Amino acid sequence: MKSLQELKAMRERMGESKGIRTRASPTKITVAMGTCGIAAGARSVLLAIMGELAETGLRDTAVTQTGCLGMCEREPLVEVVHQDHTTLYAYVNAERARQIVRDLLSTAEKEEK
């Protein structure tokens, strides 16, 4: 490193912030992974969400799992908490999961402006 700029660039490159470890994530995505969720394909939904997060750079987002939410017929279920706003998505598949993350990104971008 030869300058302050390079130091900053290095930090940018490191990307993924400490947000996850300080529980300061502004956004939390919860995938219901009870037996019902897993049977309906929650696992591929989870992996799709993670893949999309890595690509979009929304690395501050926390992804967790939970058990059955009681609406087994609508699994896989994904709950998104952003700021104080909660949205529950039903019948999620890998493609819809990626779309959820992309929507989050555009919301976050609008907020920044």
Partner 1 sequence: MKYYRAHVLICSGSNCAIKGCRSVKQACEQEIIRHGLQGEVQVVDTGCLGLCDQGPALVVYPEGVMYGRLTPSDVLEIVSEHLLKGRLVHRLMQQPTGPAGEVSPLSMTPFFQKQKRVVLKNCGLIDPERIEDYVRAGGYTALATALDVMTPERVIAEIKQSGLRGRGGAGFPTGRKWEYTRVAAGQQKYIIGNADEGEPGTFKDRLILEGDPHLIIEGMAIAGYAIGATRGIVYIRGEYELSIHRMELAIRQARENGLLGEGILGSAFSFDLEVCAGAGAYVCGEETALIESIEGNRGEPRFKPPYPAEKGLWGQPTSVNNVETLANVPSIIEQGALWYRSLGTPNSPGTKVFTLTGNIVNSGLIEVPMGITLREVIYEIGGGIPDGKKFKMAQTGGTSGGCLAAAHLDIPMDYDSLQSHGSSLGSGALLIMDDTHCIVDLTRCFLKFFVHESCGQCTPCREGTPALYHLLGKVSAGAGGHADIQLINRLSRTMQSSSLCALGQTAPVPVLSALQHFWPEVEAHLNGRCPANKCVMGKAAGKIAN
Q: What residues make contact with partner 1 under the rule CB under 8 A?
A: 1-4, 6-7, 10-11, 13-18, 20-23, 25, 28, 31, 33, 46-47, 50-51, 53-54, 59, 62-67
Classify burial at 24, counting beta carbons within 10 Å of its beta carbon; exposed 0-12, middle 13-18, buried 19 or more.
exposed
Q: How far is the CB of 8 from partner 1 (least distance, A)?
A: 8
The residue among 29, 42, 55 whose CA lies nearest residue 92 is 42
Give the residue with the Cβ less far from partner 1, 64 or 113.
64
Give the residue with the Cβ less far from partner 1, 33 or 94.
33
Q: Can you tell me whether residue 53 is helix, strand or coil? A: helix
Type of residue at 6: E
57 close to 14: Cβ distance less than 8 angstroms = no
Q: How far is the CB of 93 from partner 1 (least distance, A)?
A: 19
Q: How far is the CB of 39 from partner 1 (least distance, A)?
A: 13
